Amino acid sequence: MKSSNRICVSIGHETIDDVLALADSVVSLADVLEIRLDYLGLPAVSPFLNTLQIPLLFTNRPDWEGGAFSGDEEQRLGVLLEAVAENSTYVDLELLAPEESHQRMRIALRESKTKLIVSWHNFKNTPSREELVGRMTLMQELGADIGKIITTANTYQDVLRVMQLQEVAEQLNFPLIAFCMGRAGVVSRVSTCGLGGYMTYCAVSDAEATAPGQLSVAALREIYSLMGA
């Protein structure tokens, strides 16, 4: 039985068949599946939308934000716009993507049921509260339905700073995904939904992690079960 926590399982593999096989192995444990298009040799959205009966999030993360996509922006954005045209549940677009990409995404979303997650990741540290709040405010101004702020925690103070963003998000009436990467940040992946976070992310298995400190979906479900959540 699933808890009230919204769990997104992130899947990154080179072939569509591999992704579909992994998706099938965890679909009963997930609330959302993130298809990492940047890992695919030939990115596509239709095979997943036509096969998987679960909310899907499409992400095409560029290498300049820790992803595997190294092509041009037109190509990267094109497959995300295809997901919007086919009314996927979510797409992810980076806060630091070119303004033209944000403009094209906003236009496409006018005729779609897709929700836009605007994301920002820091793989080195956790900035000041002022910077984090500023980035969240900018996400909302850019038309995000949901914000996503993920930093790297080096101390417990970093974790607390990110978790406290939910207070501001509530004041802004802005759904926010926020937790920390790294060993110190693992607790935030578990606790974020209970503290107001929109969603948390995990991996198919320990070997399939797509980000530092990412738990497997089985481990996360077991923790929630022990917590009675």
The model's pTM = 0.95
Q: Which domains does the chain have, with CATH numbers?
A: 7-227 (3.20.20.70)
> What mean pLDDT do residues 36-48 have?
97
Give residue 29's region: left, alpha or beta (phi > 0; psi -120 to 50). Answer: alpha
Task: Specify the pLDDT at position 207.
Answer: 86
Cβ–Cβ under 8 Å, residues 202 and 8: yes
Q: Which long-range contacts (CB under 8 A, 24 or more apart) does 46-53 make?
A: 46/82, 46/86, 47/16, 47/20, 48/16, 48/19, 48/20, 48/23, 49/83, 49/86, 49/88, 51/20, 52/20, 52/23, 52/27
pLDDT tens track for 82-110: 999 999 999 999 999 999 999 999 999 99
CB 90 within 8 Å of CB 114: yes
Catalytic residues: 121, 148
Q: What is the DSSP string of 206-229?
A: GGG-SSTTPPBHHHHHHHHHHHT-
Whether 135 has a pLDDT exceeding 80, the answer reads yes
